[in-house]
Amino acid sequence: MTIDTDGQYICSMTRREFIQTGIGASLALTPVGALAVPLFSSNRNEKKITRNDAPDTLWKWSKEVYFTEKLSNNYSKCLTCPNECVLPPDARSRCRSHVNKGGTIYTLVYGNPCAIHVDPIEKKPLYHFLPTSRTFSIATTGCSFNCLNCQNWEISQARPEDVKFSTLFPRDVVDRAIATACTSIAYTYSEATTFYEYMADTCRIARERQIKNVWVTNGYINKQPLIELCRTLDAANVDIKSFSEKTYSCLNAGRLQPVLETLKILKDKNVWFEMNALIVPTYSDNMDMIREMCGWILTHLGPDHPLHLSRFHPQYRLTYLPPTPIAFLEKARETALNMGLHYVYVGNIPPSDSSHTYCPSCKKRIINRTGYRIEDTRIKDGACAYCGRTIAGIWS
């Protein structure tokens, strides 16, 4: 895969080798606005998608995609995310969830979640949003990226008809969330932007019934759908997968700039969000990159949105890499705090002091965590119980 050869980055594969892995074909054949269908046809020995190729339930409940542009000759462009797939008739999208039938793009994953769990909100991770609450978590198949280190690749890189799924429509999702004593619904695990219609409709009903909405995302979404989503969104966790366009290109098959735009819009729309940076050895374990990222965060978002620095564990196509050294993560946290960020956590490691929340003024420990469990909280009415300083977040 091609990677930044400046500084500390290592070039582990050529672009041609990356393309040969199969995942890389998407890079080769689906740049922004490119035709998407040859990619999956050649890779998976698929022909054109016809009605008979997908289970009846997928077609039965398929729904027109909200943000599209009709083109000539029954071509149509999806405008949900910056991939902006151009689909000829009967073509399948890069995220595998959308198909063009007769010039109209339909989603195949509306009401078809393949993952349903009740999680602690801390697992998203969201540390400053209703701590100790439960979140009803759903996902369908599909993702706009092809991360080499994806931990949910069995669903994110699958077609909807390739996995077991339930039938659960937006109203049912909200009913289930209430029945399981969840405070929020999380659109998570895969990339919820690729099941935008399902998420947006569920968000609207959840808002009407006082259930919060949480979006766990790679942040790769176009401006208009995002602004629309912000009307009913309460919180988000956004991945910053690196702070280099080259690394985004070869590690994730995506781009950094749209993610930064997403963060600015969330800030502008007053949606609470936290950021997650998974540090992958040889790709993003670069202290200069960490400094650059923190500088951008401070300039554009301020010091109060938490940054989670997560440890990579070998998986999917990067099993040959070691886990991120904990010492590097702790050093990165120290760097971020010294630069002025108020809340920086290290995740995916054994219990450590870097998973607690400290007051930025008096420095006392105000939330004590062990894994996803909260042992003790010293926050009163959204402020430090010791010195009274306001602690950023949504606490009740």
> CB 193 → ligand SF4: shortest distance, Å?
6
Identify the bridge partners of residue 279 per DSSP, sorted by sequence position.
Answer: 311
Q: Which is nearer to ligand SF4, 226 or 294 (CB)?
A: 226
Question: What is the distance between the alpha carbons of residues 13 and 332, in angstroms, rounded to a whole number?
Answer: 27
**Does 329 engage in binding with ligand SF4 (CB under 6 A)?**
no
- The DSSP secondary structure of 341-383, one letter per residue, reads -S-EEEESSSS-GGGSEE-TTT--EEEEEETTEEEEE-EETTE
107-146 positions binding ligand SF4, by CB under 6 A: 144
> CB 387 → ligand SF4: shortest distance, Å?
46
> CB 164 → ligand SF4: shortest distance, Å?
22
Q: Which is nearer to ligand SF4, 99 or 121 (CB)?
A: 99
List the Cα angle 147/151/157 in 5-degree steps: 55
CA-to-CA separations, 171 to 134, 228, 279, 283, in angstroms, rounded: 19, 19, 38, 42
Q: Which is nearer to ligand SF4, 36 or 214 (CB)?
A: 36
Q: Which is nearer to ligand SF4, 81 or 174 (CB)?
A: 81
> CB 108 → ligand SF4: shortest distance, Å?
11
Which of 93, 152, 276, 324 lies at the binding interface for ligand SF4 (CB under 6 A)?
A: 93
- The one-letter amino acid at 227: I
Of residues 68, 71, 64, the one with CA closest to residue 81: 68
| Helix, strand, or coil (residue 142) | coil
> CB 14 → ligand SF4: shortest distance, Å?
25
42-61 positions binding ligand SF4, by CB under 6 A: none
Q: Which is nearer to ligand SF4, 80 or 237 (CB)?
A: 80
> CB 1 → ligand SF4: shortest distance, Å?
20
Q: Under rule CB under 6 A, how many of the chain's residues touch ligand SF4?
A: 13
> CB 81 → ligand SF4: shortest distance, Å?
3
Q: Which is nearer to ligand SF4, 9 or 145 (CB)?
A: 145
Q: Are 346 and 340 in contact (CB under 8 A)?
A: no
Of residues 119, 121, 96, the one with CA closest to residue 106: 96
Strand order, beta sheet including 98-101? 63-64, 104-107, 98-101
**Pair type for strands 212-217 and 235-239:** parallel
**Does 159 engage in binding with ligand SF4 (CB under 6 A)?**
no
Q: Which is nearer to ligand SF4, 144 or 149 (CB)?
A: 144
Question: What is the distance between the alpha carbons of residues 350 and 89, in angstroms, rounded to a whole number?
Answer: 50
Q: Which is nearer to ligand SF4, 175 or 228 (CB)?
A: 228
Residue written as token pair 């490691």: 349
180-209 positions binding ligand SF4, by CB under 6 A: 193-194
Helices H / strands E in the chain, number of each:
12, 19
- Per CB under 6 A, which region of 94-102, 181-189, 272-280, 375-383 contacts ligand SF4? 94-102
Q: Which is nearer to ligand SF4, 129 or 165 (CB)?
A: 165
**Does 158 engage in binding with ligand SF4 (CB under 6 A)?**
no
72-91 positions binding ligand SF4, by CB under 6 A: 78, 80-81, 83-85
Q: Are 24 and 14 in contact (CB under 8 A)?
A: no
Structure tokens at 4: 């930044």
Phi and psi torsions of 222, nearest 5°: -80, 160
Q: Which is nearer to ligand SF4, 143 or 279 (CB)?
A: 143
Q: Is 45 exposed, middle or buried (0-12, 13-18, 19+ CB in 10 A)?
A: exposed
**Does 94 engage in binding with ligand SF4 (CB under 6 A)?**
yes
> CB 225 → ligand SF4: shortest distance, Å?
9
**Does 26 engage in binding with ligand SF4 (CB under 6 A)?**
no
Count the Cβ atoms, other than its own, within 10 Å of residue 14: 12
**Does 98 engage in binding with ligand SF4 (CB under 6 A)?**
yes
Structure tokens at 115: 């993952």
Residues within the interface to ligand SF4 (CB under 6 A): 78, 80-81, 83-85, 93-95, 98, 144, 193-194
